[in-house]
Structure 1
């Protein structure tokens, strides 16, 4: 039986679990038997890890993560592409988790192609993702932020170098996985409230509100669940020396960074804290990937107000709490020196919510009437409307499923809601599964159809939220198909 890994404040009516869950349970005996047979035939595992510094060399530089353009002048703590390679002699997989808000598919595809040519790891066996720190360099155009093109080339080079270095550092290893929990740091940020509000398009019927404020009396219920699981893959040397931990937690980001500075946010601090708790040396690479956190943040709105913190203080609190929960689960991990590794990848086509000609004309008229069209929220979305008019009618997204023993890792290129991650975990035929979002590209928020009906920031049409309202069930179905295909091949 799977351990309790999430908290639901209400039943999820938009997802059905029954048939898929029964199918998954039916597969488990065959899956376990196949694991034993394949592990016996697999060569001893080798693992390599490396934290490649991707901090920009030139300042000032554009930083994403805000409705307005921001130029930063320095760094609070370095940015990294934290890289991990797992190789069983016949199949190798590689991960690169980068301290960025979001990364476009073009950069990731270019890096994968070069890695395949130079290192030999197939492009389909490489998963690259962004952590979603809101104090990284702009490499994806969203809202007013403009891409820094020279840095895009720099980032691509560094991802390639980082995975190549991890490959070179491969050493005999044993690998296991675990699951910790920390419900004290994740809160659903979308709420049903008793107050109405007008969205940037002049609509007053939105039912859900992001970050509803400190008026406790106006709050009804969160519009979705949380997922407090800290799932992780752990690699050690045969004698127990920590090599790397690849963790996954569904928390959007923390913030509280001093103005005008770049930072890896809590993702970087987690790596530092975990290394200290495990007594690891300087070669250990802790990695925190983002789970399904499109509707999750670190603010408990039930309190009405949050304690005043010094810069970076809240990041330290969160990182310490999550690292501590990871360590508790880490001590129970069972390790294996040989495991089967397999990968599935697919590409699906999704519709785009494009504005009408009338909406574009109204947006252009608004922009023309303003001295600073980004000053008001209406102007921000007017500009987004104009940008989306030039989008194609559909886009192709890349999805991936990686199996390492009884652990499965799947990817989504979106800011995915927690309920989607929970559904995938529940219906997966593997003993443990986690979802890495903002991986293999960036395609904006991924609300469920019901969340689209409820409205709110994450559904407002923009380059940050443009997929058709049926995109979530299509992505979820495709990912479960990849997982079931992996399980059937055992």
Structure 2
């Protein structure tokens, strides 16, 4: 699209589920006992010529295409925005409702009534944002944060990887890099009043003390910190980047603060970086806005006959009340370290459910351009190495990866990570693609950029 007078609108709507909803993100079932902070869908609509591009971020663990497509259809009908100009992503809060069925006895149960209402609630944020479009300027910048991002995979002496260092002795050796870059876009009206601050960081999540409470985790506290600086009416959005192997746990425990207090501190630091990144950056009222999808076919992990036999054996042993004798599970994806015995039943059932999925599934990669900011929306928990490769090869001055976007493929490790093993490489119905999928996604984007 050609440069034109920019218009921006922003809005948020409530996604908080009812009490008693089973919360996703951990291995045990946790019915919600209260609401520590509401879950929100936040939309920013950016328009030059033609239809706007809409970025929606939801305080949910992840969303399947069935739900995001339904929401996009509503937005298209009521706001006239084509589906391929909409990106719907999740923050990955671990204190929100389950959104994908994971099978009997293998995770939090979904609430079908909540899921039936969810697309409409999400769509409402975009419809309101489009209704509020008004002349605006944007400022785009980056800043780095220290002591926030850690690669959560560590190499053992035999060259394999473990997830989370814990209390192990010795010096931890991270298995990969981090990306502590906060990318930010500040939209202001023509009088210089902030409309919205959109930010992005590759960090898994930072949780709260009580894991039975519905909470937006540190994302909600980011918004509160931004509003304290820019004004109570600002829509403040923090979306997740390439964070599949990144968390906020320092293995050396140099700052031993955890839980809610840590979430507050991290949120303040990230909010400060986002505000600083855009504070004294040139404002532009005339930019190019573009949004489109790239088609991609994702392939399921190839379950072996040995995998099936081992899964059947584990489940049969449990049925015979011999659960205490279930061994560690050396499924074909378990390089270096097996699935430990306490989780063997869960992953045995997961593997059989995985085996029943279609062999391949079409998905879409989202490409969004706002001035000299390029956004790549990928459908899963992308390893940081994939995001760094895209940034290094990007034709845009500033590039950010939006993870957990439009669909959910689960963890997208590197080929090297699959060879090293570890939790992120274990396969299930919610983390189901074959090795190399992450690299294939990256190459699809790079080819598109090269051909443009």
With structure 2 as the length reference, what TM-score do the two structures score? 0.91
Out of 425, 432, 436, which is 1:466 matched to? 432
Residue 188 (1) aligns with residue 138 (2): no
State the secondary structure of the residue aligned to 1:118: helix
Gaps of 5+ in 1: 1-34, 197-205
Residue 229 (1) aligns with residue 195 (2): no
In structure 1, how many angstroms separate the alpha carbons of the residues matched to 2:211 and 2:77? Answer: 41
Residues 314 and 345 of structure 1: CA distance in aligned 2, closer, same or farther (over 3 Å): same
Map 1:272-311 to 2 at 5 A: 272-278=224-230, 280-281=231-232, 283-303=233-253, 307-309=256-258, 311=259
Residue 210 (1) aligns with residue 163 (2): yes
In structure 2, how many angstroms separate the alpha carbons of the residues matched to 1:237 and 1:169? Answer: 11
Cα RMSD for the two superposed structures = 1.9
Map 1:29-428 to 2 at 5 A: 38-39=2-3, 42=4, 44-56=5-17, 58-142=18-102, 143-194=106-157, 207-217=160-170, 219=172, 221-278=173-230, 280-281=231-232, 283-303=233-253, 307-309=256-258, 311-370=259-318, 376-428=342-394
Q: Report what 1:429 is aligned to.
A: 395
Deviation at 1:362, TM superposition (A): 2.5
State the secondary structure of the residue aligned to 1:222: coil
Gaps of 5+ in 2: 327-339
With structure 1 as the length reference, what TM-score do the two structures score? 0.84
Moved more, 372-381 or 317-326: 372-381
Q: Report what 1:14 is aligned to.
A: none
| Kept in 2: contact 1:242–1:284 (CA 8 A) | yes
Deviation at 1:387, TM superposition (A): 0.8
State the secondary structure of the residue aligned to 1:62: coil
In structure 1, how many angstroms separate the alpha carbons of the residues matched to 2:118 and 2:298? Answer: 28
State the secondary structure of the residue aligned to 2:99: coil
In structure 1, how many angstroms separate the alpha carbons of the residues matched to 2:255 and 2:377? Answer: 33
| Kept in 2: contact 1:401–1:483 (CA 8 A) | no
State the secondary structure of the residue aligned to 1:164: helix
State the secondary structure of the residue aligned to 2:287: coil
In structure 2, how many angstroms separate the alpha carbons of the residues matched to 1:364 and 1:112? Answer: 40
State the secondary structure of the residue aligned to 2:286: coil
Residue 456 (1) aligns with residue 422 (2): yes
In structure 2, how many angstroms separate the alpha carbons of the residues matched to 1:323 and 1:216? Answer: 34
State the secondary structure of the residue aligned to 2:419: helix
Number of equivalenced pairs: 431
